[in-house]
Amino acid sequence: MNSKSKIDELTPQQIVKELDKYIIGQGKAKKMVAIALRNRWRRQKVSGELREEIMPNNIILIGPTGVGKTEISRRLAKLSQAPFVKVEASKFTEVGYVGRDVESIIRDLMEISVRMVREEKTKTVESKARENAIERTLDLLLPPITSKPKPVGEMDNNDELELRHQRTREKLRSQLLDGSLDNRQVEINVPADSTPMMQIFSPLGIEEMGLNIQEIFGGMMPKKVKKRKTTVAEAMRILTQQEAQKLIDMEEVIRLAVQRAENSGIVFLDEIDKVAGGSSGKSGPDVSREGVQRDLLPVVEGTSVVTKYGMVKTDHILFIASGAFHVSKPSDLIPELQGRFPIRVELSSLSEEDFIRILTEPKNALIKQYQALLETENVNIKFTKDGISEIAKIASIVNSRSENIGARRLHTIMSTLLEDILFTVPEEKPDLLTITSKEVKEALQSVIEDEDLSRFIL
């Protein structure tokens, strides 16, 4: 298997450990996601017919808003080097798009897979591409002598010319390499934008497949180019790219990309609850919701999708669905689809304790973010323990009184709390700011006491 990606080597426990760096709590969800990922790796090792029989552990994450459902998937995507797409299931019910081609999800996935493999391949040809680009840039700086038929007797003269030309070229080469030519202007050929696009009439309608003839047939089509003036440094960058393209075997890239999408691809279907019909009512929206589920079914069950890179089988793509399921329940999904998501994980709502940890522990914790922002103005901001506890407490109170929006509440509270500081810096510039529970109360007490006000502001 060529898709040797980082996540492939992580054990379930290691995956959870990585997720722990960003997501507080939700242990069950992390665990199930980690198992599902590792199982795909395990499947690759199974030999023979049985391998084809082993289906992915598709998962539904269920839980209130703002508790980390999307965040888990986002981190997973960054962690894994597997092709990953995230789509909102509700997108397919948009007015006028009844049953918008669900297969476009797979086309997007394939696009990402191709880009990934191409980038990896580009890395392997990088140094050769650079060498070639250097030669081409030298050609631009000092056009090669076009050898004219030499009149008899002038032989020596021409050789002399050639030699001098060589010397100049070598001189330019060392200047190019040490960067002293970087700002000089040169003229290069770049592809003109007018790549012929074609629309394909796919069985499901005029889905734009973005079939780019030029890309597919590569050098077979005459390429339109235009001249562009630019600096040597920029020319080097562009020419290195062009040379890398030439060195890459696109056919191989596509072959690997199809393989990778089929065996390691992950599709995250957010807001799945929005397409779960509210029971029996045969009203308009419900019908189209069910329509979306019916469209999704073959893709999740395993079908072949036509992409511009060829057929992609979806049998072993991992689907992770997620939804709040406030109104509808997972059992409102059509039975066939339920069967295809055998694993259900509930995420718990977040407590005051969780908020304290979310504020401080994750690598991207809000407090760290604001500290970094203010540091750019040379202002040091500190939060004491009781200050942080107070923020968490207020977040819990507001969540319980108005709508429970989970950890998103911390964003609104932090921005209200720091509003004045963020506004007055840099004109007023304390070197060190300390936020204790007193500061937090002062800044927020009045807002909290007024329920109507807090509804608007926090």
Ligand X SMILES: Nc1ncnc2c1ncn2[C@@H]1O[C@H](COP(=O)(O)OP(=O)(O)OP(=O)(O)O)[C@@H](O)[C@H]1O
Query: Residue numbers of the site for ligand X (CB under 6 A)?
Result: 23-26, 65-71, 324, 358, 362, 406-408
Closest CA to 26 of 327, 409, 406: 406
Point out which residues bind Mg ion (CB under 5 A): 69-70
Q: Is the peptide bond prior to 430 cis by the omega test (within 30 degrees of 0)?
A: no
Q: Which does 136 bind (CB under 5 to 8 A by kind): Mg ion, ligand X, none?
A: none
Residues with Cβ < 8 Å from 364, sequence gap 6 or more? 22
Query: Measured from the CB of residue 63, what is the shortest distance to ligand X in angstroms?
Result: 6
Query: Measured from the CB of residue 73, what is the shortest distance to Mg ion in angstroms?
Result: 8
Q: Which does 67 bind (CB under 5 to 8 A by kind): Mg ion, ligand X, none?
A: ligand X
Q: Cα–Cα distance between 190 and 412 in angstroms, integer?
A: 47
- Nearer CB in complex with ligand X: 297/414: 414
- Nearer CB in complex with Mg ion: 70/404: 70
Cβ atoms within 10 Å of 225's Cβ, excluding its own: 11
Q: Which does 19 bind (CB under 5 to 8 A by kind): ligand X, Mg ion, none?
A: none
Strand, helix or coil at 346?
Answer: strand
- Nearer CB in complex with ligand X: 329/408: 408
Q: Which does 362 bind (CB under 5 to 8 A by kind): Mg ion, ligand X, none?
A: ligand X
Strand, helix or coil at 80?
Answer: coil
Q: Which does 387 bind (CB under 5 to 8 A by kind): Mg ion, ligand X, none?
A: none
Helix (H) / strand (E) element for 390: namely: helix 385-401
- Nearer CB in complex with ligand X: 58/73: 73
CB distance 35 to 320 below 8 Å: no
Closest CA to 141 of 191, 189, 181: 181
- Nearer CB in complex with Mg ion: 271/390: 271
- Tokens in use for 331? 């059992």
Query: Measured from the CB of residue 70, what is the shortest distance to ligand X in angstroms?
Result: 3
CB distance 407 to 350 below 8 Å: yes
Q: Cα–Cα distance between 277 and 216 in angstroms, integer?
A: 42
Query: Measured from the CB of residue 416, what is the shortest distance to Mg ion in angstroms?
Result: 23
- Nearer CB in complex with Mg ion: 274/316: 274
Amino acid (1-letter code) at residue 425:
V
**Residues in a beta bridge with 190:** 226
Q: Cα–Cα distance between 167 and 175 in angstroms, integer?
A: 13
Helix (H) / strand (E) element for 235: namely: helix 232-247
| H runs (alpha helix) in 250-283 | 250-264
The residue to which tokens 């050609």 are assigned:
139
Query: Measured from the CB of residue 66, what is the shortest distance to ligand X in angstroms?
Result: 5
Query: Measured from the CB of residue 232, what is the shortest distance to ligand X in angstroms?
Result: 43
The residue to which tokens 């996540």 are assigned:
7
Closest CA to 189 of 224, 137, 226, 241: 226
Q: Which does 418 bind (CB under 5 to 8 A by kind): ligand X, Mg ion, none?
A: none
CB distance 44 to 260 below 8 Å: no
- Tokens in use for 397? 């109170």
Query: Measured from the CB of residue 37, what is the shortest distance to ligand X in angstroms?
Result: 18
Query: Measured from the CB of residue 267, what is the shortest distance to Mg ion in angstroms?
Result: 15
Q: Which does 24 bind (CB under 5 to 8 A by kind): Mg ion, ligand X, none?
A: ligand X
Q: Which does 324 bind (CB under 5 to 8 A by kind): ligand X, Mg ion, none?
A: ligand X
Query: Measured from the CB of residue 369, what is the shortest distance to ligand X in angstroms?
Result: 10
- Tokens in use for 385? 């323990």
- Nearer CB in complex with Mg ion: 66/265: 66
Residue nearest Mg ion by beta-carbon distance: 70
Give CA angle at 248 (221, 10), nearest 5°.
140
Q: Which does 158 bind (CB under 5 to 8 A by kind): Mg ion, ligand X, none?
A: none
- Nearer CB in complex with ligand X: 43/408: 408
Query: Measured from the CB of residue 341, what is the shortest distance to Mg ion in angstroms?
Result: 17
- Nearer CB in complex with ligand X: 4/326: 326
Q: Which does 83 bind (CB under 5 to 8 A by kind): Mg ion, ligand X, none?
A: none
Burial 329-354 (b: 16+ CB within 10 A, else e): ebebbbeebbebbeeebebeebeeeb
- Nearer CB in complex with Mg ion: 69/118: 69
